[in-house]
Amino acid sequence: MYSKEAIEVFLKNQRQLFDETVAENEEEAREFLEECMAVEVASIKEVRRYLDEAGADVSGMSAKELEEASEVFALPSGRYLIVEG
């Protein structure tokens, strides 16, 4: 369901969203992402659409501001992982 890349990025950067560590290894990270129904999307346009549909006010946000949102994890491949805390 989640790419290895997404799991690794979340595991490494999870403190950008949470005050404490929620996963210690890849298996725990995968389980956590599944539990909170995280979403992996292909572009920043899809990030905007997802957050808008989830009720977030993103209308005035630039692409850079979206990328810097704590729940958005930019992946090296250019994809994005969205994790709602």
Domain ranges of the chain: 4-82
Structure-block tokens of residue 38: 């995280």
CA 32/CA 29 separation, integer angstroms: 5
What backbone phi and psi angles, to 5 degrees, belong to 40? Answer: -105, 125
Decide: 29 and 1 in contact? Cβ < 8 Å. no
Residue 55 has pLDDT above 80, yes or no: yes
Q: Would you say the pTM of this structure is higher than 0.75?
A: yes
For residue 62 the two structure tokens come to 């630039």
Beta bridge partners of 82: 39, 72
Tens digit of each residue's pLDDT (9 = 90 or more) over 18-38: 999 999 999 999 999 999 999
Question: Tell me, what's the pLDDT at 57?
Answer: 94
